[in-house]
Amino acid sequence: MTRILATGTFDLLHPGHIYFLAQARTLGDELFVIVARDSNVTHKPKPIVPEEQRLEMVSALGIVDKALLGSEKDMFEPLKQIRPDIIALGYDQRFDAEILEKELGKRGLPANVVRIPLSKQCPLCSTGAIIKEVLKRYG
């Protein structure tokens, strides 16, 4: 069985998230998802939805076999438990695939890193677009 790992914040769950996870799922037999901890989201505004609720929503998706919160100390820690064969990166995730594969190898986690090249195109397929629309309508 090929185990896939996808990661993300998954704040204000939207069709872009579903598209990413569905594309990741096509790469193998099992899809594990690490949901970012509130404390680790430093590259964009803090999530609106608390981590436990984001985890609950991602866990409820039929395409996800197992979802868990990431580590607050070491992003590689949960990977030791999951042991993915493939790590799927979203088109906009800030990781360099080659550097990530080298770091995984150093830790005895020989996973291939695959970038999902596109995102679903729709008016509200990003958290930022949803927030802008809410502010426009109610702000």
Binding positions for ATP: 9-10, 14-17, 92
What the block records as the tokens of 63 is 């395409």
Residue type, 136: K
3-state secondary structure 100-137: HHHHHHHCCCCCEEEECCCCCCCCCCCHHHHHHHHHHH
What the block records as the tokens of 16 is 């872009």
Binding residues: 9-10, 14-17, 92
Bridge partners (DSSP) of residue 34 are: 7, 68
Quote the CA–CA distance of 59 and 14 in Å, as a whole number. 14
Quote the CA–CA distance of 27 and 94 in Å, as a whole number. 21
